[in-house]
Structure 1
Amino acid sequence: MSGKECSIHKDRKQKAVRQLCGCILILLFLILLTILIVWAVLQPKKPRFILQDATIYNFNVSAPNIFSTTIQVTVSSHNPNRRIGVYYDRLDAFATYHNQQITYYTVIPPVYQGHKDTNLWSPFIYGNNVPIAPFNGPDLRQDQDAGAVWITVKLNGRVKWRVGSFTSGRYHLHVTCPAYIPFGNVPKNGGIVVGNAVKYQLSRSCDVSV
Structure 2
Amino acid sequence: MNTSQQQIPIHYTPDDHHNRPPPPVNQGGRLRRHHSAHYYMHRVKESLTTRVSKLICSVFLSLLFIVGLITFILWLSLRPHRPRFHINEFSIPSLAQDNGFASAQATFNVTARNPNLNIGIYYDTMHITLYYQNQNIGGEPFLVPFYQEPKNSTILSDTLSGTKLVVDEARWAQFVAARMHGLVSFRLEVATAIRFKVAGWESKKHKMHANCEIGVGPDGLLIASYRVPKCPVYFT
Instruction: Specify the TM-score bucket, using the shorter chain as the normaliser.
Output: 0.5 to 0.7
Instruction: Give the unaligned 5+ runs of structure 1.
Output: 1-32, 192-198
Q: Which has the higher contact order (CA 8 A, sep 6+)?
A: 1
SS at match of 1:130: coil
1:50 aligned residue (69, 86, 92)? 86
* Number of equivalenced pairs: 159
Alignment of 1:110 onto 2:145: yes
Gaps of 5+ in 2: 1-67
How far apart, in 2, do the equivalents of 1:100 and 1:127 lie? 18
What's the CA shift string for 1:159-201, capped at 9, x where partnerless?
A: 11111112222110100001101124x8xxxx5xxxxxxx765
Larger radius of gyration: 2
Alignment map for 1:40-189 (pairs within 5 Å): 40-59=76-95, 69-126=104-161, 128=163, 130=166, 139-184=174-219
Query: Which 4+ stretches in 1 moved above 6 angstroms?
Result: none
* Equivalent residues of 2:125, 2:141 under 8 A apart: no
Matches within 5 A, 1:3-42: 39-42=75-78
Q: What do residues 133-181 of structure 1 show as CA deviations (whole Å, max 9, x unaligned)?
A: x8x7764341144453000111011111111112222110100001101
Aligned residues of 1:106 and 1:123 also touching (Cα < 8 A):
no
Residues 188 and 212, structure 2, Cα contact 8 Å, conserved in 1 = yes
Relative to total residues, which structure has the larger helix share, 1 or 2? Answer: 2
Counterparts of 1:49 and 1:207 in 2: how far apart (Å)? 8
Q: Does the CA contact (< 8 Å) of 2:80 and 2:196 recur in 1?
A: no
| 3-state SS in 1 of match to 2:118 | coil
**Under a length normalisation based on structure 2, what TM-score does the superposition of the two structures give?**
0.57
Q: Name the CA distance, whole Å, in 2 between partners of 1:167 and 1:57.
A: 43
SS at 2:138 equivalent? coil
Report if aligned partners of 1:67, 1:102 keep a CA contact under 8 Å in 2.
Answer: no
